[in-house]
Amino acid sequence: MEIRGMPARDILRYISSGEVSAAEVVETYLDAIREIDPQTNAFIEVLEPAARADASRIDKELRDGGSPGILAGLPVAIKDNICVKGAGCTCGSKILENWIAPYDATAARRLREQGAVIIGKTNMDEFAMGSSTETSAYGVTRNPWDLSRVPGGSSGGSAVAVAAGMAPLALGTDTGGSIRQPASFTGICGLKPTYGLVSRYGVTAYASSLDTVGPFGEGVWDCALLLEVIAGHDPLDATSHAKEPVTYTKALDGNVAGLRVGVPQELLRGVSAPVKAVFESTLSTMEDMGMIVEEMSLPSLAHAVEAYYVIAAAEASSNLARFDGVRFGRRADAGTLDEMYTRSRGEGFGKEVIKRIILGTFVLDTGNKDRYYRRAAQVRTLIKDEFQKAFERFDLIVSPAAPDVAFKIGEKIQDPLTMYLADLITIPVNMAGVCALSMPMGFAECDGVSLPCGLQIIGKPFDEQTVLRAGYCLEQEIGAGIREKVRHMRQNLGPVRECELVD
């Protein structure tokens, strides 16, 4: 039985029935990591002994008639800015290269409580600052569709782990598109939940008012299942909302006919012709399914990128102040205290992080706070108000998830303005605090290569059910051809280990 690449739902069914053991499933994915990760560099740390021990414990519990949880035996990869007790948490930075997390983040704890096996920590742009996973101190992560291209960022490692078949599910974080853009570039699904739905406790902060933890999966059902586990109020997180638990997987089956869908023209500016053609075809499919698709406008989105980078940099400069070689982070040898601070941060942080810290410190300076930070906060309020008014008319808002397909490694890293504009489509969702799903909508040609591109489905605050239902129903219409291409891509990456049925 070919386990690697099998939908999470099927893996869980085989484990619970005893046809395959959790240990066999974990071994299959550990083998896949050994075979494929040297090509992609998706993992910073693989937790082999702990994963095997957890799988053995789950198998024993199942044999004894116990109920380990709804994720029993399912491997999950976790972005390396989310704490997993006993594992490193580098945030893709040298400054934390030797730090071991003494506790589980709430999201990681909830995974364990439902029987998930945490298989490894994934690569990322340093402190989640990047859109390509090129700024990691642990090397560039490569896109499995074309190893010369980026997987997107900052959660590129988690996206590649799922896309390449090295883990059925993964967790990432999304501050300005860091789940949705990598999902688009790698041909999988990624969900940015409503701000406050998933606890941020135990997640190293980049921009505290924007950061969100969310799931990656090959399909929409996978994301719904993982969200079901990690969502919910957490008293350890002051920004956590007290919402009733939702069984998101049960919300997937339903009628989407009559849903009102808005297409903001501001989110189509700069979209490449090949991606736009796929998007327009997808809109036609949605109309054929009975959805009502209309053009609309959100004028304030024209200022979203500028406002985002002011707010995010300001919050980053505050959050990263603790990494000084005294409170947290590696300490450089130096003759004086000032020299120690300078060398610890200068040697520990990469160029992108230093650049954003400097920018954030500048905009928070006494003379600049009113000129930059407060104006950015006002723009954020305008964006939030416009989304609120739009959702009085529409059930969903859709756009491409990224303006183009994955770009070449090194193509944009020296041009930060071009790199920042790549987040133009995803940033407004974080600024408004709403939810959004990125799902594969097809393939676009680039330099003679067919590469995946994603659809972004944006929903009202805490209305993940409608977003996931629309995505799931659309996936049934267009997903078969996409899944076939995914299987072909994985076959080209490396051999697949097969599990024998348990007698």
Q: Say how many C-beta atoms besides its own lie within 10 A of residue 324's C-beta.
A: 17
d(CA 307, CA 431): 9
d(Cα 83, Cα 199) in Å, to the nearest integer?
Answer: 12
Radius of gyration of the chain from Cα atoms?
A: 22
Distance between CA 79 and CA 92 in Å, rounded? 9
**What is d(CA 186, CA 440) in angstroms, rounded to the nearest whole number?**
9
Angle between helices 464-493 and 220-230 (to 10 degrees): 120
In whole angstroms, what is the distance from residue 133 CA to residue 92 CA? 9
Other beta carbons within 10 angstroms of residue 275's beta carbon come to: 25
Distance of alpha carbon 89 from alpha carbon 105, whole angstroms: 11
SS3 429: helix
Burial 97-127 (b: 16+ CB within 10 A, else e): bebebeebbbbbbbbbebbbbbbbbbbbbbb
- Neighbouring CB atoms inside 10 A of 233's CB total 14
> Are residues 188 and 163 in contact, defined by beta-carbon separation less than 8 angstroms?
yes
| Whole-number Cα distances in Å, 386 to 105, 434, 461 | 34, 12, 13
C-alpha separations of 168 from 30, 267, 354, 368 in Å: 12, 31, 35, 46
**Pair 50, 3: CB distance under 8 Å:** no
Catalytic residue among 21, 93, 136, 154: 154
Count the neighbouring beta carbons within 10 Å of the beta carbon of residue 229.
23
**Catalytic annotation on 178?**
yes
**In contact, 90 and 180? CB cutoff 8 Å:** no
93 catalytic? Reply is: no
Of 178, 317, 344, 399, catalytic: 178
Nearest to residue 462, comparing CAs of 206, 304, 242?
A: 242
Element (DSSP H or E) covering residue 184: helix 180-186
Confirm if 308 and 427 have CB atoms less than 8 A apart: yes
Q: Does an H or E element contain 361, and which?
A: helix 351-363
**What distance separates the 2 farthest-apart alpha carbons in the chain?**
73
Catalytic entry in 21, 79, 93, 121: 79
Report the alpha-carbon distance of residue 376 to residue 366 in Å, rounded: 16
Q: Is the peptide bond before 284 cis (omega within 30 degrees of 0)?
A: no
- State CA 418 to chain mean position distance: 21
**Cβ neighbours around 172 below 10 Å, total:** 34
Catalytic residues: 79, 154, 178
